[in-house]
Amino acid sequence: MALQNPTPSEYIQHHLTNLTYGYHPENGWSFAHGATEAAEMGFMAIHVDTMAWSIGLGIVFCWLFRVGAKAAHAGVPTGVLNFVELMVEFVDKSVKETFHGKSNLIAPLALTICCWIFLMNLMDLVPVDLVPYLFMVAGVDYMKIVPTTDVNATLGMSIGVFLLIIFYSIKIKGVGGFVGELTLQPFGKWMIPFNFLLEGVGLIAKPISLALRLFGNLYAGELIFILIALLPFYLQWFLSVPWAIFHILVIVLQAFIFMMLTIVYLSMAHEHH
């Protein structure tokens, strides 16, 4: 469904549609042709582009750091090891400043989040038309290359963090302690329903805000790149260059924020009130 001379709204719509494979009520298991079909598929569908790009970038991260880990020694570091150690030390420092317990999970988790999200965000700086155009030439209609502009991706990660929050809350405080934390404050035992409502919203807000903050920032950034791409080409560089430079800050910052909040939430889960 390659578009010939699309209108601006068609163009934007096209750039914001994922390559979706799923179960369509009429067509069965197939690739969706357009956003409406994708919407009709409901939950039983998967964004192939999001999955492929995110897993590919995750493998890049794992490979790079595995190379570093294999080269790791106590002597003078060189090459990849330097960079990898820099990241590890940075993450380790961030974790130690916030989280005071002992955990073998939190630091590697934070490192994975930081690097993986950064790599996924980095795809935002690839010119918006380049990859979709190449794929269109190859016969694939839709291709969104920034996984973090897909709310499924960010929510998937934040749900992972959410499960860890619940797991550690119960592990450290016990089921009773966790339930007590949810129901017995801030107003004591006579206000249990109200307390539960307050604390429940607070708890649920953690993964939701984590996911939507990242998604919103990157989605908005992507959208602005797409809008800039609609301008006459002699004006594009005038806007896209400053926006891209600004976006370098955003992609690093959002990766860092996701990591920091994960550490904070998990250290809160480890603390008794």
Partner 1 sequence: MNLNLTLIGQLIAFTIFVIFCMKYVWPPISGALAERQKKIAEGLDAADKAARDLENAKSQIEDELKQARTQVTELLEQANKRSSQIVEEAQDKARAEAEKIMASAQAQIAQDAAQAREALRADVAKLAVVGAERVLGATVDQAAHKKLLAELADEL
According to the binding rule CB under 8 A, does residue 176 interact with partner 1? Answer: no
Give the nearest distance from C-beta 44 to partner 1 in angstroms. 7
Is there a catalytic annotation at residue 5? no
Q: How many residues bind partner 1 (CB under 8 A)?
A: 51
Q: Which of 27, 30, 103, 213 is catalytic?
A: 213
Q: Which stretch binds partner 1 (CB under 8 A): 35-43, 197-205, 237-245, 249-257?
A: 35-43
Q: Are 260 and 160 in contact (CB under 8 A)?
A: no
Of the candidate residues 4, 5, 9, 75, the single one contacting partner 1 (CB under 8 A): 75
Of the candidate residues 55, 166, 197, 220, the single one contacting partner 1 (CB under 8 A): 55
Q: Which of 54, 94, 217, 240 is catalytic?
A: 217
Return the number of the residue (135 or 196) whose C-beta is nearest partner 1.
135
According to the binding rule CB under 8 A, does residue 70 interact with partner 1? Answer: yes
Is there a catalytic annotation at residue 103? no
- List the interface residues with partner 1, window 86-115 (CB under 8 A): 88-89, 92, 104-105, 107-109, 111-112
The residues binding partner 1 (CB under 8 A) are 18, 20, 22, 38-39, 41-47, 50-51, 54-55, 58, 61-62, 65-66, 68-70, 72-75, 84-85, 88-89, 92, 104-105, 107-109, 111-112, 116, 147, 150-153, 155-157, 159-160
Catalytic residues: 209, 213, 217
